[in-house]
């Protein structure tokens, strides 16, 4: 029994750590403070790196720059270790080893690793100091974590994911045209400029500057045939560059049109819930939600504990002092106690046939329950939504004054 309690305490501690580390999950003061600290530390590190490149500033404040840089790097290293420890909380149904390995090899994990590792590698491998210094630039990409606060950043990522095949095809075609232009210009200009167009690959720089309309002018054709070919290739370059630009632009239009029409494809109405505060001696105290024996059709949609609002899973233990948000049916009253909505999927709704983990929704919004064929189903990441499903959405918000509708 004692071992089980220790395990449960560790899992709870790990879950709290995970919430604290995740950007945008500001359910308590510690999480909010850590988000601010992470951003400030990264910005300070980047600013110091820029100031270090100025000779006068470096000579005058060298020691200060070094101390601040090492403090921020040690913070990045500690953050990386803590994220490895908390990784299993992101996928509770998976093993801890699988979750940690998944984070380490993910793009986010690699960026986190390279944000501090290049500072220590020159100690072991002095010969690679220049390369390691270049790898430090990767830490700037940690700023993308701020997209947890802005859904527009998520829309950008969704555009690139949805159009990745078209973009890859357009870049592949552009590469072929670039090689063809290089070979063409080599054949026309090699005899006239043997020192400039020495081989087929020497025309790559000219092809890039011509096709991408950079036009540095350090390499250019001098023969009539070469100049005519250069004009044609320049026109082709303008058209080729326009292809990926058009794909990305069309993707943005589609993405925002889809978000705008989402309300037209669904019937939304406010869901009104009741809240119950658990007192000492109540029968539900110290019991898991899955063991409460709730009647069919009644759900616990949210659990408020202190400053935290939890999305209750089956293994969450109810404690004295918790506030439970309970719902049975959709009610139509004038006062709303919880910021929740019901969404009924129609035939043309963009969520039809999409797994929950792949939905394009805000990180501040959660699917707490799915009603299918009069049955209430606990949502999982691999659950595919279908026409006729009624989805209960919960959006995190701040508490309002007593004379206003409360949002939990």
Domain extent listing, the chain: 2-149, 164-264, 271-395
The answer to whether 189 and 197 have CB atoms below 8 angstroms apart is yes
Residue 329 has pLDDT above 60, yes or no: no
Q: How far apart are CA 289 and CA 285, in angstroms?
A: 10
pLDDT digits (tens, 9 = 90+) for 1-25: 556 566 667 778 888 888 788 766 6
Residue 355 carries which DSSP code? B
Q: In angstroms, what CA-CA distances link 282 with 292, 295, 299, 309?
A: 12, 18, 18, 21
Model pLDDT, residue 405:
37
Q: Which of 179-188, 270-279, 349-358 has the lowest mean pLDDT?
A: 270-279
Tell me phi and psi for residue 41, to 5 degrees: -60, -45
User: Which residue's entry shows tokens 């210009």?
Assistant: 185
- For 354, counting Cβ atoms within 10 Å of its Cβ (0-12 exposed, 13-18 middle, 19+ buried), the class is middle
Model pLDDT, residue 259:
60
Residue 26: which pLDDT band, with cuts at 50, 70 and 90? low
Sheet-wide strand order for 308-310: 274-277, 323-327, 299-305, 308-310
Q: Which residue has the higher pLDDT, 167 or 216?
A: 167
Q: How far apart are CA 324 and CA 275, in angstroms?
A: 5
For residue 282, what are its two tokens?
């109540």
Residue 198 carries which DSSP code? -
Q: How far apart are CA 403 and CA 400, in angstroms?
A: 8
Q: How many CB atoms lie within 10 A of CB 242?
A: 12
Average pLDDT, integer, range 170-193? 84
Model pLDDT, residue 216:
57
Q: How far apart are CA 347 and CA 353, in angstroms?
A: 10
Average pLDDT, integer, range 174-185? 84
Model pLDDT, residue 55:
84
Nearest 5 degrees, angle CA 158-CA 160-CA 165? 120
- What 3-state class would DSSP assign to 308? strand
For residue 334, what are its two tokens?
């004038």
How confident is the prediction for the chain on average, in pLDDT? 75
- Its CATH architecture, for the domain 271-395, is 2-Layer Sandwich (3.30)
Q: In angstroms, what CA-CA distances link 48 with 54, 117, 132, 133?
A: 10, 18, 17, 14
Residue 107 has pLDDT above 60, yes or no: yes
Q: Which residue has the higher pLDDT, 242 or 334?
A: 242
Longest dimension (CA), the chain: 96
Residue 117: which pLDDT band, with cuts at 50, 70 and 90? confident
Model pLDDT, residue 395:
72
Please determine whether the domains at 164-264 and 271-395 fall in the same fold group of CATH: no
- Most confidently modeled range among 34-43, 74-83, 158-167, 232-241: 74-83
Nearest 5 degrees, angle CA 151-CA 313-CA 283? 135
Q: How far apart are CA 138 and CA 120, in angstroms?
A: 15
DSSP H helical ranges for 115-269:
117-124, 129-135, 151-162, 164-189, 203-211, 224-265
Average pLDDT, integer, range 285-306? 77
Q: Which of 2-11, 203-212, 272-281, 321-330 has the lowest mean pLDDT?
A: 2-11
Q: How far apart are CA 346 and CA 133, in angstroms?
A: 54
Closest by Cα among 65, 25, 71 to 47: 65
pTM: 0.50
Q: Which residue has the higher pLDDT, 216 or 298?
A: 298
Q: Does domain 164-264 bear CATH number 1.10.287.70?
A: yes
Residue 397 has pLDDT above 70, yes or no: no
């Amino acid at each position: 029994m004692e071992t089980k309690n220790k395990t449960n305490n560790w899992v709870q501690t790990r879950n709290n750590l995970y919430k604290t580390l995740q950007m945008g999950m500001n359910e308590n003061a510690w999480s909010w403070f850590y988000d601010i600290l992470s951003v400030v530390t990264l910005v300070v590190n980047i600013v110091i790196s820029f100031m270090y490149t100025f000779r006068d500033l470096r000579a005058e404040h060298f020691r200060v720059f070094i101390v601040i840089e090492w403090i921020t790097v040690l913070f990045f290293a500690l953050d990386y270790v803590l994220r490895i420890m908390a990784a299993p909380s992101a996928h509770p149904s998976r093993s801890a080893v699988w979750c940690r390995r998944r984070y380490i090899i993910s793009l986010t994990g690699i960026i986190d690793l390279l944000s501090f590792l290049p500072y220590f590698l020159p100690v072991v491998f002095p010969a690679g100091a220049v390369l390691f210094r270049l790898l430090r630039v990767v830490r700037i990409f940690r700023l993308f974590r701020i997209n947890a606060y802005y859904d527009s950043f998520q829309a950008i990522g969704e555009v690139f994911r949805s159009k990745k095949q078209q973009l890859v095809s357009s870049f592949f075609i552009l590469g072929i045209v670039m090689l063809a232009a290089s070979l063409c210009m080599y054949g026309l200009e090699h005899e006239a400029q043997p020192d400039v167009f020495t081989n087929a690959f020497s025309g790559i720089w000219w092809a890039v500057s011509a096709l991408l309309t950079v036009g540095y002018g350090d390499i250019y054709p001098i023969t009539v045939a070469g100049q005519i070919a250069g004009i044609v290739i320049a026109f082709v370059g303008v058209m080729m560059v326009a292809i990926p630009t058009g794909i990305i632009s069309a993707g943005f239009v589609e993405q925002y049109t889809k978000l705008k029409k989402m309300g037209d494809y669904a019937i939304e109405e406010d869901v009104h819930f009741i809240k119950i505060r658990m007192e000492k001696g109540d029968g539900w105290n110290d019991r898991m939600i899955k063991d409460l024996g709730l009647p069919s059709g009644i759900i616990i949609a949210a659990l408020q504990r202190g400053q935290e609002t939890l999305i209750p899973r089956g293994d969450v233990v109810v404690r004295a002092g918790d506030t439970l948000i309970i719902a049975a049916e959709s009610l139509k009253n004038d006062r709303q106690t919880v910021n929740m909505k019901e969404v009924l999927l129609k035939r043309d709704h963009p969520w039809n046939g999409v797994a929950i983990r792949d939905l394009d929704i805000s990180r501040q919004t959660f699917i707490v329950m799915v009603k299918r064929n009069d049955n209430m189903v606990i949502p999982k990441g691999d659950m595919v939504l279908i026409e006729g499903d009624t989805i209960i959405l919960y959006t995190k918000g701040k508490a309002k004054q007593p004379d206003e509708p409360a949002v939990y």
